[in-house]
Amino acid sequence: LLESMRTKLHQLIPDVEIQAKAELAYEVNRLKRELNAIILGHNYMEPALYCSVPDNTGDSLQLARISAESTADIIVFCGVKFMAETAKILNPNRMVLLPNLEAGCSLADGITADDVRTLKERFPGAPVVSYVNTNAETKAVSDYCCTSGNAAAVLRFLHKKGHQHVIFVPDEFLARNTAQEAGYAFVEGWVPGSEKTLRADTPTVIGWGVHCEVHELFEPEHVDAVKQQFPEAITIAHPECKPEVIAKVDISGSTKKMVDVVRASSARQFMLFTECSMGDNLAAENPDKEMIRMCSHQCPHMALITLEDTLEALRKLQHQIEVPEPILQEARVPIDNMLAIS
């Protein structure tokens, strides 16, 4: 384990730290086997954790799918709370652990189930698509979930079914970045009390005005500046970024798409407009390629998940995720609907 971590991390982390992390990772892996646990690691995990203990790494959609197929007794989710909740909803009879219960998400905190009920009353008949970055109560009053990896597929499905109006919450930028490619002409940002009425003949997505606290920090001028300084670099942005940023980059997509693009491309240099650890992990996996990244933009929630806390979670079986009935049953419906589409 130490040698494999050294090979991947020696360019990023001093050897003394790699040794300390490898000791923790060794113990995590030993306990994991003893307890018949599986560890799922989101692409934003810090590099020492990312490359040592997860059985699977991936974006929200990949990890949700893998959790649905797991036969392990315990699922340890190295990611944020909405991801662990999704795994629990898909595995009500398995123990799901989140190493730090404080690991939240500004998008999930930006909408409540009552907000969705208000939207449903205001726009009767419009199906509700909730980004998977929501809490279980919000999912429970939704019709479909989506992730950044399948948002366009879910919207396209609803457009084909003839839905002129779709409520898509909570990420306004993801809605704006996805709606048009799925056949929806407009995105109306909507807040309670708004008097706007929708035109019956115009396919419209009704959005909600919250943003990811990390991705909203990227500006179109940043893309210009990077392109000027590194003209050879392929620019890739997450669709939680502003539409003005997405318009300027070469490629936009989920964190899985970023992994796939960097692996498959013959280019040598990439600039990632996303959480900084993602760049570290891609650099570790692709030593022949250079990742340019803006490390002032780090997700404070993802950063709470450490090897130390993962070990404690396994030792004490602590921070179990519980989703009460009937929320669990109700929240499963939009997740299953999403998995059936994509």
Sequence length of the chain is 342
For residue 234, give the H/E element and its range. Answer: strand 234-237
Residue for token digits 């396919």? 203
Q: Is 242 in the site for ligand SF4 (CB under 6 A)?
A: no
For residue 164, give the H/E element and its range. Answer: none
For residue 46, give the H/E element and its range. Answer: none
Q: Provide the minimum distance between the beta carbon of 62 and ligand 13P in the complex, in angstroms, as a whole number.
A: 8
Q: Provide the minimum distance between the beta carbon of 42 and ligand SF4 in the complex, in angstroms, as a whole number.
A: 8
**In the complex with ligand SF4, which residue's Cβ is closer, 275 or 330?**
275
On whether the CB atoms of residues 99 and 163 are closer than 8 A, the answer is: no
Give the count of beta carbons closer than 10 Å to the beta carbon of residue 11: 10
Out of 212, 262, 278, 335, name the contact with ligand SF4 by CB under 6 A: 212
Q: Is 177 in the site for ligand SF4 (CB under 6 A)?
A: no
Q: Provide the minimum distance between the beta carbon of 191 and ligand 13P in the complex, in angstroms, as a whole number.
A: 23
Q: Which of 272, 332, 340 is nearest to 132 (CA)?
A: 332
**Can you read off the two tokens belonging to residue 177?**
């970045």
Q: Is 299 in the site for ligand SF4 (CB under 6 A)?
A: yes
Q: Which does 252 bind (CB under 5 to 8 A by kind): ligand SF4, ligand 13P, none?
A: none
Instruction: State the Cα–Cα distance between residues 140 and 323, nearest whole angstrom.
Output: 11
Stretch that binds ligand SF4, among 117-125, 159-167, 206-214, 331-339 (CB under 6 A): 206-214
Angle between helical axes of 276-285 and 255-264 (0-180°, round to 10): 30
Q: Is 335 in the site for ligand 13P (CB under 6 A)?
A: no
**In the complex with ligand 13P, which residue's Cβ is closer, 169 or 314?**
169
Q: Provide the minimum distance between the beta carbon of 12 and ligand 13P in the complex, in angstroms, as a whole number.
A: 21
Q: Is 306 in the site for ligand 13P (CB under 6 A)?
A: no
**In the complex with ligand 13P, which residue's Cβ is closer, 153 or 198?**
153
Instruction: State the Cα–Cα distance between residues 290 and 225, nearest whole angstrom.
Output: 17
**In the complex with ligand SF4, which residue's Cβ is closer, 163 or 176?**
176
Instruction: State the Cα–Cα distance between residues 194 and 38, nearest whole angstrom.
Output: 46
On whether the CB atoms of residues 226 and 271 are closer than 8 A, the answer is: yes
**In the complex with ligand 13P, which residue's Cβ is closer, 49 or 212?**
212
Q: Is 57 in the site for ligand 13P (CB under 6 A)?
A: no
For the chain, helix (H) and strand (E) counts, in that order, are 15, 13
Compose the 117-156 pattern: x for residues touching ligand 13P by CB under 6 A, - for all others: ----------------x-------------xxx-------
Max Cα–Cα distance, the chain, nearest Å: 64
Q: Provide the minimum distance between the beta carbon of 170 and ligand SF4 in the complex, in angstroms, as a whole number.
A: 10
Compose the 82-121 pattern: x for residues touching ligand 13P by CB under 6 A, - for all others: ----------------------------------------
Instruction: Give the CA distances from residue 138 to residues 67, 112, 115, 143, in Å, rounded to whole numbers and listed in that order.
Output: 21, 6, 9, 10
For residue 271, give the H/E element and its range. Answer: strand 269-273
Q: Is 133 in the site for ligand SF4 (CB under 6 A)?
A: yes
Compose the 73-112 pattern: x for residues touching ligand SF4 by CB under 6 A, - for all others: -------x------------------------xxx-----
On whether the CB atoms of residues 49 and 304 are closer than 8 A, the answer is: no
Q: Which does 255 bind (CB under 5 to 8 A by kind): ligand 13P, ligand SF4, none?
A: ligand 13P
Tell me which residues touch ligand SF4 (CB under 6 A).
Answer: 80, 105-107, 133, 212-214, 240, 275, 299, 301-302
